[in-house]
């Protein structure tokens, strides 16, 4: 396990931040030290009405206390990598494609069109995470941020039975939060750490990562704001994964790219921000009779490749 972080300082612990300043900062969304540490002085000053000089000092103090910009030795990173665990997807084919399954301390993204099986794969991951380590699980609790209202306990029951698990036990270990809009979704991810203090959460699912952002920030004018928020959100997720040695699994839709005339014109939402922060990206395409073709894209150390899985009443299986 990764050492639990945080002697949890609040923004009032920073030099130069009194009660009044803290209030102004909080009102404008700078509610913890990490948010301040990654803020730009100009934004901070404009948004919260603090002089730019003061903003620079507050940010510098936040960076110091948040350990931003600290170097780790290769040995430390190797040690952290040794804690990495793999969670089975339910399909041996898909596990192999991913180098053994969903990896902790990373974000794994499934993208594809409607009905391609993203939500099914997330339900299966939730069930599998509750299994013992010998069975490929983590014997852990699961957190699901459900932004599309597609979590179905009935599917969890079916999939649990498919694995000879007691559905009541599995359901008790899955904690679901509906996200009503993108800000709510961001907030839920930030608060996930609190739940992890109460329950051993080693899998966090966000289904879907991008749909609220996509519908709320339409048009070119709001694109950069959308990307900034998505970036912050993904880094919150990644931090949760690192601190808790947890798998982060997210889903993403595709949109047609008007600029592509040859090959596959479908591209995942979220552009470079999502692409660069997700460690593993899997593209799902529909095949015949519940078959789905999963393609690994852009992995840092695994070869690109394809495999076939089968959606069934019992859950995700190998395709043949």
* Partner that binds at residue 290, options Mg ion, ligand GTP, none, CB closer than 5 to 8 Å by kind: ligand GTP
Q: Cα 76–79–82 angle (5° rounding)? A: 155
Q: Which does 112 bind (CB under 5 to 8 A by kind): ligand GTP, Mg ion, none?
A: ligand GTP
In the bound complex, what is the minimum distance in angstroms from residue 316's beta carbon to ligand GTP? 10
The helix (H) or strand (E) run that includes residue 22 is helix 19-27
CB closer to Mg ion out of 150 and 312? 150
* 211 contributes a contact to Mg ion by CB under 5 A: no
119: contact with Mg ion by CB under 5 A: yes
CB of 274 to ligand GTP, least distance (A): 15
Q: Are 109 and 274 in contact (CB under 8 A)?
A: yes
The binding track of 148-187 with respect to Mg ion, each residue x by CB under 5 A or -, is --x-------------------------------------
Q: For ligand GTP, give the closer residue by CB, 32 or 113.
A: 113
Strand partners, 96: none
Interacting partner of 262 out of Mg ion, ligand GTP, none (Cβ under 5 to 8 A depending on kind): none
Distance CA 71, CA 75 (A): 12
CB of 152 to ligand GTP, least distance (A): 8
Q: Which residues bind ligand GTP (CB under 6 A)?
A: 112, 114-120, 148, 150, 253, 290, 311-313
> Across-strand partners of 107?
248
- DSSP 8-state secondary structure symbol assigned to residue 204: E
Q: How far is 258 from 269, CA to CA, in rounded Å? A: 14
Tell the burial category of 308 from Cβ atoms under 10 Å away from its Cβ (0-12, 13-18, 19+).
middle
């Amino acid at each position: 396990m990764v050492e639990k972080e945080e002697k949890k300082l609040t923004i009032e612990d920073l030099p130069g931040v009194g009660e009044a300043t803290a209030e102004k900062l909080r009102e404008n969304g700078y509610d913890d030290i990490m948010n301040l540490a990654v803020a730009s002085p100009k934004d901070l000053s404009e948004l919260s009405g603090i002089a730019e000089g003061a903003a620079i000092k507050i940010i510098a103090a936040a960076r110091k206390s948040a350990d931003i910009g600290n170097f780790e030795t290769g040995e430390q990173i190797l040690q952290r990598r040794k804690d990495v665990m793999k969670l089975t997807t339910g399909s041996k084919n898909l596990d192999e494609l991913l180098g053994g399954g969903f990896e902790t301390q990373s974000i794994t993204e499934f993208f594809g069109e409607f009905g391609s099986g993203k939500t099914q794969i997330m339900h299966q991951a939730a069930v599998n995470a509750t299994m013992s380590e010998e069975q490929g699980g983590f014997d852990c609790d699961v957190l699901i941020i459900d932004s599309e209202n597609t979590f179905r306990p009935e599917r969890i029951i079916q999939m649990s039975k498919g694995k000879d698990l007691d559905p009541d036990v599995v359901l008790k270990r899955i904690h679901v939060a509906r996200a009503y809009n993108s800000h709510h979704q961001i907030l839920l991810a930030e608060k996930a750490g609190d739940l992890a203090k109460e329950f051993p959460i080693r899998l966090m699912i966000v289904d879907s990562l991008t749909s609220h952002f996509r519908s709320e920030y339409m048009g070119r004018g709001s694109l950069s704001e959308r990307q900034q928020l998505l970036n912050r959100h993904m880094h919150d997720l990644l931090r949760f994964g690192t601190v808790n040695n947890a798998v982060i699994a997210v889903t993403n839709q595709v949109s047609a790219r008007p600029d592509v005339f040859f090959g596959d014109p479908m591209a995942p939402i979220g552009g470079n921000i999502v692409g660069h922060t997700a460690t593993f990206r899997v593209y799902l395409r529909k095949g015949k009779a519940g078959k789905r073709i999963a393609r690994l894209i852009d992995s840092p150390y695994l070869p690109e490749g394809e495999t076939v899985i089968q959606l069934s009443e019992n859950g995700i299986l190998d395709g043949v």
